[in-house]
Structures are given as C-alpha cells and as structure tokens.
Structure 1
Amino acid sequence: MRVLVSTILTLGTILASAPACAQTYDPNYPVCLQTYAFGGGHIDCSFASLGQCAASASGRGAQCFNNPYFAQGARKPPRQRGVY
C-alpha cells in the first residue's frame, strides 16, 4: 500500500512540475504569421491585415492565417433582413 501511495505522489509531482505553454495567439491582432523551420517554427500574431502579413512572409517558409482568438471588440453581427 505504501508503494502505491508513493508511486501516485511521485507521478503527481512530475506532472505538476511540467512546463506550461504560454498563449501563442495575441487577441489584439486579427492576422497571424506561422513560420516553418528545422527544429521548429513559431507563430507571430502582430499583423493588422493579410497584406501586411503576406509582405512579411514573402520569400520565407511561412503562411498567414486569421487569428482564431482575435477579440473583435464591441462589433455587432450584421442584421439579416427578411429572415423570421
């Protein structure tokens, strides 16, 4: 019984001490740039438009995409007319 409790406590300590990942996406910008490289790439969400991001990605192993966590502020969705 002591071995079981010791094993559970050891595993819990190991899992609790694992490094946590920070949030990758900045909710203040609508466009992100993902770069690809040997050994890993990174995501940079600091672009105001797809054109600005595309200019930065030009000639590199990278692609632009819409930020899924972009905080759109107080924008209201467009009203649909004639739908009841």
Structure 2
Amino acid sequence: MRILFGLIITVGALLAAAPTRAQTFDPSYPVCMHVYSGANGGGGEWYDCSFTSLPQCRATASGRPATCDLNPYYPVREPTPRRRYRRGG
C-alpha cells in the first residue's frame, strides 16, 4: 500500500511539473544581440551574447533584423569605495 501511494505521488509530481526554458543570456559578456525571425536558417528569434561593447554588437547587427541590448545577467562590479583618511589635529 505504501509503495502504491508513493508511486502515485511520484507520478503526480512528474506530471504536474511545468517545462522550463533554458537561460537565454550568457552572463560572460555585457552585450547581447537579439536577432528576429528568419535568422539562422530556422526562423524564430534568438540571442547572441558574445559581444564586449555596444559598437561591436551594432556593427555585427548592421543590415540584419537585430537589436543590441545590455545583458541583464552580466554581473556589474561596483567600484571599491575610496578610503577616507582623518587628519590628525
């Protein structure tokens, strides 16, 4: 009886799980090119996150149905705060 109950719960959990999409953006580069329908021979739209600057991406996107955007998953590094020294008085 316990095995049957466990099996029913397991099958129910597997059937209830929604499919997920893979991460679209590569966090290694700060700029992504969003290419719209018909590109890459298969249609649909896709992202190419292999650019280090917006001008580099825009040069590649020139003449194509594409736009360049900042990568929302690129880790922004905050500059380290400057040390403040007190003057001895």
Aligned residues between the structures = 71
TM-score, normalization: structure 2? 0.62
In structure 1, what is the equivalent of residue 15 of structure 2? 14
Any gaps of 5 or more consecutive residues in structure 1?
1-5, 80-84
Residues 36-84 of structure 1 show CA distances to partners (whole Å, capped at 9, x for unaligned) of 00541101111000011001111111000001111234x41677xxxxx
Q: Give the alignment partner of residue 73 of structure 2, picking from 37, 59, 69.
A: 69
Would the alpha carbon gap of residues 44 and 77 (structure 1) be closer, same or farther in structure 2, given more than 3 Å must change?
Answer: farther
Q: CA deviation at 1:20?
A: 3.1
Q: Residue 53 of structure 1 aligns to a residue in which SS?
A: helix
Percentage of matched positions with identical amino acids: 51
TM-score, normalization: structure 1? 0.66
In structure 2, what is the equivalent of residue 53 of structure 1? 57
Any gaps of 5 or more consecutive residues in structure 2?
1-7, 83-89
Name the Cα RMSD after superposition: 2.6
Would the alpha carbon gap of residues 51 and 40 (structure 1) be closer, same or farther in structure 2, given more than 3 Å must change?
Answer: same
Query: Which has the greater radius of gyration?
Result: 2
Instruction: Answer yes or no: is 1:34 the counterpart of 2:34.
Output: yes
